[in-house]
Each structure stands twice: as structure tokens, then as C-alpha cells.
Amino acid sequence: MDFQVERSALLDGIPHGFFGSAGGHHQFGFGGPGDAAEVQALRAAAAHVVRGGGRLAAPHQVHSPDVVVVDHAWDDTAEGRPVADAVVTATSGIVLGIVTADCGPIVFADPKAGVIGAAHAGWRGAVDGVLENTIAAMETLGACRADIAAVIGPTIAQASYEVDAPFRAQFPAQAARFFAPAPEREGAARWHFNLPGFIADRLAMAGLRKIADTGRDTFCDVARYHSYRRASQAGEANYGRQISMIALP
């Protein structure tokens, strides 16, 4: 299949990829439009691109801080997958996957220890600790956070992410620098929130020193990515998902 795949030099030697929508033709989420069997086949084909013969392990995501340690791949079906928002493994042959549509997909690797991870971090997951929990779970498998590299995949950019005061109030005071003033709307204060910047800061605060950002804006790049916010603003009933994957060599 003609996949659009973004990769990072920071993970050179580690099979990984951030898969785009190919102009809306690729929809990787079971919650979006399309037949479940077709979505399953598309996800399997993408996993094969990352690692030939690899089996996909992608959780049922619910914006939680929960992490699953994977030692064998489960059936990639619409129902019955483990409920979590991050997965980690030290098992070869498994392709970890996370779906997103504006939230931050982050893939992790400690090449020395042979441990990898993938996390879905929207603003709620990032605030509640999904990133820190992913790193801690990798450590239980032998990873060292000084050796962990993390790459932030396609995410809604600050200029595209307008928020209100109740949203901002859910963040700690030290996160104020990630909110830039935006024009008032109907007399109410508004801001633009820097989600990828906030994620990178949480990773750095957790002790990671090898952090990269693909710099792709899911909202603005209509030809390449699905965007939940863009679809909602357009009044579209259906929306899609990207998928981000990583495997051991």
C-alpha cells in the first residue's frame, strides 16, 4: 500500500513510523469510519512495513494514564483489546501501535536495553502521567531513562489549538508558558495551547535527554492527516485516525 510514513533520525536503527492518512484514504482507528475488517487489514499492513512479520499490539485507548506491558500480541480486533493508553515491550516480533487524531503519539526506545514503548498523550493523559508511567514501565523491563529516546509524532500545533479559561485551569501553574494569548471570543479570554511543547517538557522533567518532535501539525496538514478538531469544526459526522508504530530490530 502507498503509505505516508514519517520517521525520526533520533531513532535511527529502530523500526518505527508515524503513518499519515494518505489524503484521507487511510483510516487506522476502529472507532472511525470504515469496515472493521478493512481497518484491521490496513493496520496489519502498516505493521508489516515497520517490521516484516511483526504482530501489532495496539490497546483500546481511553485517555488514561495506564500502561500495558506486552509479552505477546493479542488479536487486533475492534473489541476485546486491553484498555490502556500506552504499551511497552522487550519482546522481539511485536509492533507497538497507538492511534491519534490531534493528540500526541510518542514512541520510545532504549536500544541498549532492547526496550520500546508507545504512548497516546492528549492533554489529559499528559497531565495525569501517561508519559511518566510509560518510562517507569520501560524501566521494569530493564530500560534506563538516561538511554531512552522519545519522539513526538504528528500532533495539533499551538497555533491550531485554541482553548478557554476552564481548559487552562486544569493545568498546574508552571504550565502557563505553554499558553499564548489569543483574541477574545464572545468577550471571553482565549489562549493557544502548545501540546507538543508541554509533552516535551514532561519528558524532560522525567529525566529524558533525547527528545525529538516531528513538527507536523495534524490540524493544518489536511492532505496528510486526520484531525478530530478540524472535523468537528467542519461539522463532519465521521473522522479518522493516524497510527504510530515502533518495534525492536
* pLDDT reported for residue 238: 73
162-214: per-residue pLDDT in tens?
A: 999 999 999 999 999 999 999 999 899 999 999 999 999 999 999 999 999 99
Domain count, the chain: 1
Is residue 24 domain-resident?
yes
Determine, yes or no, domain membership for 168.
Answer: no
Give the strand order in the sheet containing 86-89: 67-70, 86-89, 115-121, 104-110, 149-152, 210-213
Any domain includes 37: yes
**Is residue 163 a part of any domain in this protein?**
no
The CATH number of the domain holding residue 86 is: 3.60.140.10
pLDDT at 237 over 80: no
For residues 137-159, one letter each, b for 16 or more C-beta atoms within 10 angstroms of the residue's C-beta and e for the rest, the string is bbbebebebebbbbbbbbbbbbe
Q: Is the entire prediction scored with pTM above 0.85?
A: yes
Q: In this structure, is residue 87 part of a structural domain?
A: yes
Please report whether residue 180 resides in a domain: no
Pick from 14-28, 55-69, 80-94, 226-240: least confident: 226-240
Q: How do residues 73-84 score in pLDDT, each as one tens digit?
A: 999 999 999 999
Residue 102: which domain range? 5-157+194-247
Query: Is there a domain that residue 40 lies in?
Result: yes
The pLDDT tens digits for 89-136 are 999 999 999 999 999 999 999 999 999 999 999 999 999 999 999 999
